[in-house]
Structure 1
Amino acid sequence: MAKLLTDAATLRVADLPKGRTQPFDIVPDADARAALADALGIVALRKLTFRGTLAPLGRHDWRLTAELGATAVQACVATLAPVTTRIDTRIERRFLSDMPAPAELEATPEDGIEIPQDDSEEPLGDLIDLARILHEALALALPDYPRADGAGIMAAQAAPPGSAPLRDEDLKPFAGLAGLKAKLESDG
């Protein structure tokens, strides 16, 4: 991931105040929003805020609680017209000191690396990268297939040169089954 935000978005765990909550408020400027929109493959990010707290959780662990707000512009999957989406989502992460880092997990021959059931838990390292969390949460919150108002279902047509195109309406996959059923019933 390209450098999208300032170094203030990366917190050193050793510098966090022991026993106290650390607030954060990230409001990227236009250049950072444009870079993030490009990294996400969307048209634009008009607004983006990431506000929350990082609070101690026991003696060695930390809990991140935040609100992500964004106004994203994506291309419609049917017409390529711009589609504006408002995103307001709550984010929670727990950074645990006794959780193994992904590089330390052992792959099994059957199913690769086991993914924990609780996806809000992360291993606690030397740094907590708020920019990475923002990027990940925004990517997950964006609509997968944005559609402009009035964009209908597109019909696919294909044909070799000189012949009539085959349309979706022309395909009747179960019509042959009705004939087969009738034949089987008459035969037997």
Structure 2
Amino acid sequence: MGEAVTWPRVVRLHELARGPVTLDLAPDAEQRAAIARRLELRSLPALTARVTVRPWMDGAEIGGRFDAVVEQVCGVSLDPFEQPVVGDFVVQAVPAGSPHAAAGEGGELELDPDAPDAPDVLDGDAIDVAAYVVEHLGLELDPFPRKPGAVFDYAAPETEASPFAALKKLTEPKA
């Protein structure tokens, strides 16, 4: 997922002192094209999101919902097709040096699949809300997309293809 998305929507931690910030996001066609390239989609005809950033510990909680229409290539028929993708997400983020951040390098890390995810650690005091939308859109994409109605129809060859079958034909007496 190479290029950077040119769709920054930044909320700074100090802005949350007045309370939650809600954003309605909708990238333009050029920004959707850049997002589609980043997510390796054929195209991204539509993307909207409503995201609320609220104070959490010494950082923020970012939660929202996105609605998108993605165009992918069917892994069976290789035909392009569009499909809706909808998702909800909630993540926490804290500034670097926060006591609520996950243990850094050298510290022990316990893996508990049932535990909530550790908060993201911000580089500064800026939260790129649009980046979280794009990240979670990417997580909702089917890595093996299949066009509705596409069927993989495979029939095994009827002839025996083993090398021993070829040897058997050479050793059979000819009539």
Q: Which residue of 2 aligns with 1:43?
A: 42
Aligned length: 154
* Greater share of helix: 1
Instruction: Give the superposition deviation at 1:101.
Output: 6.4
1-side partners of 2:102 and 2:11: how far apart?
18
2-side partners of 1:156 and 1:130: how far apart?
49
Deviations 1:30-75 (A, max 9, x none): 01101111111111111101212111124x2211111111011100
Contact 2:61 2:93 in 1 (8 A): yes
- Secondary structure of the equivalent of 1:24? strand
Sort the Cα spacing of 1:63 and 1:72 in 2 relative to 1 into closer, same or farther, 3 A. Answer: same
Normalised to the residue count of structure 1, the TM-score between the two structures is 0.68
2-side partners of 1:138 and 1:56: how far apart?
24
1-side partners of 2:70 and 2:23: how far apart?
22
2-side partners of 1:44 and 1:72: how far apart?
6
Contact 2:5 2:38 in 1 (8 A): no
Structure 1: segments with no counterpart, 5+ residues: 159-163, 167-188
Q: Which residue of 2 aligns with 1:130?
A: 129
2-side partners of 1:77 and 1:154: how far apart?
13
- CA-atom RMSD in angstroms: 2.9
Deviations 1:74-106 (A, max 9, x none): 00001111222211211101123323368x333
Percent identity of the aligned residues?
25
Q: Which residue of 2 aligns with 1:31?
A: 30
2-side partners of 1:106 and 1:50: how far apart?
38
Superposed, which structure 2 residues align to 1:156-175 within 5 Å? 166=161
Partner of residue 61 from structure 1, selected from 50, 56, 59: 59
Normalised to the residue count of structure 2, the TM-score between the two structures is 0.73
2-side partners of 1:134 and 1:165: how far apart?
52
